[in-house]
Structures are given as C-alpha cells and as structure tokens.
Amino acid sequence: MDIVYHHHGEFHMPSQVLEKHAPSLGFADFTHPAVQLVFVKHLDYDGFDSMHGHGFAFFKSRNGFWHIPFKTHKYVKSQHPDIIIVEGLLFPFQLIWLKWMLGKNIRIIAQHHGEKPFSGIKGLLQKMADRYINAYLFTSAKNASAWINNKIISNPGKCKEVLEASTHFRRIKKSVARSGLGISGAFNFLWVGRLNKNKDPLTVLTAFRKYCLYHPGAKLYMIYREDVMLEEIKTKISQHIILQEAVRLVGKQEHEELIAWYSAIDFYISGSREEGSGYALLEAMACGCIPVITSIPSFIKITENGKYGFLYPPGDTESLTQVLENLSAVDIDTERTRIEDYFQEKLSFKSIAENLNQVFAQLKSDRTLPQISSIG
C-alpha cells in the first residue's frame, strides 16, 4: 500500500491530486504482476476508485503534525497489506500509530522527497519512527547523510537508492518543436524551475553573460512558475546589454508544453543547490535535452556522475563558465540520443519498478509476494 499523508485541501476531485502525483505513480504499471497495489491519498474528498488495475482510496484529513487520520488507518488495516510505502519523512507520529495499529508483521518503507530532519521533539519522533521502518528510499544514498549524521536513521544499510519520480515525456521532432516555438540558432539553453535562492538563477545568469561575450548567438530561455526573485533577475538583465539580447523570460507554461521546449532546445541548465530528486532534469533527459547542472547528490546519481551530462559545483560561476565553453566540442545529436537512451534504461518508470521489485523481494515473506500499499 502506498500512503501519502499530506492533505491537499485545495483539491476537491481525485483527478487533481492524481495529476499532481503523476511523476511518482507511473511505476505502478511495471511492478511484478503478483503485486497488488493500493494508493491512499488525502484531499477534500472521500471515495474509492480503480484505474489501470490499481486501487485508489481518497480521504479527507488535515496536515497537523499531531493529527492521526483514524479513518485512513482503519481502511489500511482492513486491506491487510504486507508492505506499506509511506511517502515522505515528515509524518513520524502517524507512521508510529500506523505500526502500532497494524502489528509487528507489517513492513514499512519510507520514501524521501527532499525533506530535512526535524529537531527537538519532532526529531525524537523521527528517531522513534526509525525503529518501525524496514527500508528507506533515497534518490542518492548521499541524500541520507543528514538523516544518518543526526542519528535518525540508525542503520545506513536500510537506505536504498530508488528514484522518487520519472516522466512519460518523449522527444518530438526537433525541427517541428523549433518551428512551433520560433527558436533558431545553435547554442540554446533552457531553464525550467522556480526563481528562488535554492535554484540560484543569478549564478547561471552571471556565467551565461561571460559565455555570451564570446558566443553572442547563444540564447537562454527561462520558464518558471514561482518568481520570488523575478525583479532581482530583471534588474540583473537590465544592467547588461548582452543579457538583454540573450535572455528571454518566458514565464509560466502548461506542463505538456514543456515537451516542445525540451525537444527544441539542446541544453538544460540548472543552478540548484539542493534537490531531493530533480523532476525538470528527468523530463529534460527523457527528451534528450543535455544537462548542464550542479554537482549535488541527486544530480550526480541521475547523470552517473556526469557521464550523461555536465556538472559544476553549486554557486561556482567560473566553473559553470568553463563548462559552457567546453560545450563547443559536443556532438549534440549524438549526445542527445545517448542521453535519451540512458533515460529509458535507467531513469524510466520501468526502471523504478524494477528497483522497487528488488526491495519488495527483500522484504517479502517466504510464501507469497506482498500486497503493497502506498500512503502519501
């Protein structure tokens, strides 16, 4: 069973929460045929449904740290699951109650989604919850370091490397995508992400300005929803004629429209300082867009330490400028195909399912494959 405790009170229909959680649901179609999956979600709706052979249960709740969704737990117990995946590490109190309610035979997997350890009494509860967690899933084992160093995870051997998400995106013909978006030229770069300090757009803009001094035809297209730093970025661009000519602030785009952008533009660029995974990076790679990204644990894991992309230290303008300079030697068409093929082999929903099946096999009983429930 797969459980998401977070309550999306802004959603009133199952389709809304399922659309939001789509990047973490696609693996279900590739799990072992003997594994029965049930997904439990919380929103402003109560009800049950079945889609693609998988069960979905929806409950109303709230996000209080101490709130126990007894109705949800009663349903979970009625399903007699063997293994439960709890999505996220921010609900230790609920996880402890769930374990107490279901008994010693239940096995629990906790999936990390970029959360950081709590301190104080909440941190103590995370340590208590660790006693009842049989395995943790992290995009990169290095993402578990803070949890291990804070002695919340007592046994590092419980940490498994499994992607938290993937995408159904597939590349469309480059010429068609470029024509539709009005994009031309050889060295085009795409930013997809929030405009905030963690995403660090200023480092990217500073390096890109230096790069454009010697590559005046290069363009940077910036797609974003959250625009906390937008005015700061506009000021930065206005101060440099090179950036005024090279940078286009595209703004918000519908999610499906990103396929054309990733297909039309050769390089995906990011300045992220921390990420639990990297949704935009995965989408870009699915479409063969070449990553130019920071050397943070999740990105290192996703790109096999830069084997399928180009890495630079977070916040390091000079290193990023040098990486950009080196791109002139890249055979773009070959590299795009290589990255797209690698995505299908190692980063797709099918690959996630294969990795999960291995974890399930380690935890299953000797006699039968488990019924899996996921709560998030």
Mean pLDDT of 68-95: 97
The confidence score (pLDDT) of residue 46 equals 97
Q: Measured between alpha carbons, how far is 108 from 335 in angstroms, rounded to an integer?
A: 40
- Residues 22, 35, single domain; the answer is yes
Strand partners, 56: 39, 49
CB-neighbour burial class of residue 222 (10 A; exposed 0-12, middle 13-18, buried 19+): buried
CB 86 within 8 A of CB 111: yes
- Residues 7, 135, single domain; the answer is yes
Q: Nearest to residue 41, comparing CAs of 82, 105, 85?
A: 85
Strands 54-59 and 47-51: antiparallel
For residue 372, what pLDDT band results from cuts at 50, 70 and 90? very low
Model pLDDT for residues 122-169, shown as the tens digit of each residue: 999 999 999 999 999 999 999 999 999 999 999 999 999 999 999 999
- Residues 133, 213, single domain; the answer is no
- Residues 296, 353, single domain; the answer is no
At residue 375, does pLDDT exceed 60? no
- Residues 73, 178, single domain; the answer is no
Which CATH number belongs to the domain containing residue 284 in this structure?
3.40.50.2000
Model pLDDT for residues 225-235, shown as the tens digit of each residue: 989 999 999 99
The confidence score (pLDDT) of residue 36 equals 86
- The Cβ-side half-sphere exposure at 312, using a 13 Å CA radius, reads 22
Model pLDDT for residues 300-351, shown as the tens digit of each residue: 999 999 999 999 999 999 999 999 999 999 999 999 999 999 999 999 999 9
Q: Could you tell me what percent of the chain has a pLDDT over 70? A: 97
Q: Measured between alpha carbons, how far is 201 from 221 in angstroms, rounded to an integer?
A: 12
Q: Nearest to residue 270, comparing CAs of 200, 325, 355, 216?
A: 200
- Residues 142, 178, single domain; the answer is no
Model pLDDT for residues 171-199, shown as the tens digit of each residue: 999 999 999 999 999 899 999 999 999 99
The confidence score (pLDDT) of residue 32 equals 82
Mean pLDDT of 3-12: 97
Mean pLDDT of 211-225: 96
Taken as a whole, the chain contains a residue count of 376
At residue 371, does pLDDT exceed 70? no
- Residues 263, 375, single domain; the answer is no
How much is the pTM? 0.93
- Residues 4, 143, single domain; the answer is yes
At residue 279, does pLDDT exceed 60? yes
- Residues 230, 284, single domain; the answer is yes
The confidence score (pLDDT) of residue 365 equals 55
Instruction: Please provide the average confidence, as pLDDT, over all residues in the chain.
Output: 94
- Residues 258, 277, single domain; the answer is yes
Model pLDDT for residues 29-64, shown as the tens digit of each residue: 998 888 889 999 999 999 999 887 889 999 999 999
The secondary element (H helix, E strand) that includes residue 123 is: helix 120-130
- Residues 33, 100, single domain; the answer is yes
The number of domains in the chain is: 2
Q: Which domain holds residue 212?
A: 169-346
- Residues 65, 102, single domain; the answer is yes
